Amino acid sequence: MTESTETFKDVPCTFCGCLCDDIDVQVEEGRIVKITNGCAISKERFLGHMENRCPWPSVKGEKVSLQEAIERVVEIIASSKRLLIYGLSSTENDAQREAYKLAELAHAVVDNTTSVCHGPTILGAQESGKAGASLAEVRHRSDLVLYWGANPAAAHPRHIPRYVRQPGEYIQDPKEERKIWLVDIRATTTSRMVDRFIRIEPGTDLDVLLTLRALIRGHTLDASEVGCVSISELEEMATAMKSAKYGVLFFGLGLTQTRGRHRNVDAAIRLIQDLNAYTKWTMMPMRGHYNVSGAHKTSTWVTGYPYAVDFARGYPRFQPGEYTAVDMLARGEADALLNIASDPVAHFPRAAVAHLMRIPVINIDPKINMTSTAAEVNIPAAIAGIECDGAATRMDGLPLYLKKIVEPPEGVIPDRDILRMIHDSLQKVMKK
């Protein structure tokens, strides 16, 4: 490598569901030295990509070769009865597809982080459908943007600056002609950025959504307040929503993770559908990890189902609550875990983690994470969008090609190749 400086333009960032693809990355002698346009988290992701890496494959903490690690992985899988494959949202589509292929061979369950992110959104859509949105259309047309149970300033930092507070073809002044509201249970940085903040009582999202739906349909309600919001304020909101020319609801985990789960989203879906009788409204889930949308998308075309898929019978079956990772672990049903590109030890409830600690765990990740400490086998992977290419899906369904900017560390290969090697080795073992 010479002392060359190379600038890669229009690189998609692989952090959150915004998948901003206007990042310019400057590379010097094979190292990323500067990025332009990304948010603070994006900067950390690119500039800090070499920090805290899983340095080499290991079994029980001992360094081994990749081949040896894979042999141990195959032993674990072959001797398990109920393998759970989980994660997949922070890696690219090809890796996800390899995971389904492996799950089919191993008659395993394969679930992705959708189950603890917008799984309830999908369940709500399975009840009622969904009038979706697209980011450019929001920029061009929306005059009322409603965030509900989301905190983009924390989780999607450029969502408002890059996608919403921008002029569009039919909205020239995004400050005056576009109003941004936030409904949440607490004040946040986002609530200080928007034009109007409506605080509701925790656990009352369903009540408030149904109330709005009733008010929009012209019903009078025998209540003075709902969710600690006065009826008169809710009536005023309903009127404003009906009078908007193009409204969009961006909703987050505040709807999916609270009391009511998918029923909250179902209510929001029906509200948006109802509003379409009066004016134009669409909705979009704020997908967290950069490729969780890709995970449910690839799972759906390959298996027919978006997450919580079981191959025990040699064909895909779908059942949240049964084949979702938290449930499979909390119930003690999984007797081995293959975790790819996620961190269940950090993000799962205690009973699920407690069981995880009792079973053999295989962890494939670029960095050392909390699950690494629990895993019997750790295999380092290349970071998609920085050290290997691939494809991912933005929160509004736009697929984007992820670029390879620099070489991965010595001996580190992409997830998809690791999974392929596991599959092929397992196949050989199973033939015997």
Tell which positions 377-416 bind another protein, by CB under 8 A. Answer: 389, 391, 393-394, 396-401
Q: Which residue has the tokens 């009840």?
A: 127
**75 near another protein, rule: CB under 8 A:** no
| Single-letter residue type at 317 | R
Which residues ranging from 172 to 191 are in contact with another protein (CB under 8 A)? 185-189, 191
Check residue 60 and give left, alpha or beta (phi > 0: left; psi -120 to 50: alpha): left
Nearer to another protein, 65 or 233 (CB): 233
Report the residue from 59, 83, 108, 131 that binds another protein according to the rule CB under 8 A. 131
Q: Could you give the string, one character per residue 1-20, with x where binding to another protein holds by CB under 8 A and - elsewhere?
A: --------xx-x--xx--x-
Which residues ranging from 97 to 116 are in contact with another protein (CB under 8 A)? 97, 101, 104, 111, 115-116
Would you give the DSSP letter of residue 386?
T
Tell me the chain's radius of gyration from C-alpha atoms. Answer: 23
Nearer to another protein, 67 or 315 (CB): 315
Tokens describing residue 342: 């996620």
The one segment of 72-80, 160-168, 333-341, 418-426 that binds another protein by CB under 8 A: 160-168
Report the residue from 30, 67, 170, 223 that binds another protein according to the rule CB under 8 A. 170
Nearer to another protein, 78 or 273 (CB): 273
- Environment class of 334 (CB within 10 Å of its CB; exposed 0-12, middle 13-18, buried 19+): buried
One DSSP character per residue, 32-85 reads EEEEES--HHHHHHHHTTTTTB--S-EETTEE--HHHHHHHHHHHHHT-SSEEE
Q: Under a CB-based contact definition with an 8 Å cutoff, are residues 287 and 277 in contact? A: no
Report the residue from 129, 232, 411, 429 that binds another protein according to the rule CB under 8 A. 129
Q: Which residue has the tokens 């709902």?
A: 226
| Single-letter residue type at 167 | P
CB 75, min distance to another protein, A: 22
Nearer to another protein, 57 or 288 (CB): 288
User: Where is 220: in which H helix or E strand?
Assistant: none
The one segment of 81-89, 121-129, 229-237, 417-425 that binds another protein by CB under 8 A: 121-129
Alpha carbons 147 and 188: distance in angstroms, whole number: 12
Which residues ranging from 201 to 220 are in contact with another protein (CB under 8 A)? 202-203
Nearer to another protein, 90 or 211 (CB): 90
Nearer to another protein, 105 or 231 (CB): 105
CB 186, min distance to another protein, A: 5
- Residues in Cβ contact with 181 at an 8 Å cutoff, skipping those fewer than 6 apart: 144, 145, 146, 147, 194, 195, 196, 197, 198
Q: Could you give the string, one character per residue 254-293, with x where binding to another protein holds by CB under 8 A and - elsewhere?
A: x-xxxx-xx----------xx-x--xx-x-----x-----
Nearer to another protein, 71 or 413 (CB): 413
- Environment class of 78 (CB within 10 Å of its CB; exposed 0-12, middle 13-18, buried 19+): middle
CB 230, min distance to another protein, A: 16
Which residues ranging from 309 to 368 are in contact with another protein (CB under 8 A)? 311, 313-318, 320-322, 324-327, 329-330, 343, 345-357, 367-368
Nearer to another protein, 169 or 225 (CB): 169
One DSSP character per residue, 267-326 reads HHHHHHHHHTTTSEEEEEE---BTTHHHHHHHHHHHHSSSS-EE-TTSS-EE-TTTSSHH
Q: Could you give the string, one character per residue 44-63, with x where binding to another protein holds by CB under 8 A and - elsewhere?
A: xx--x--xx-----------
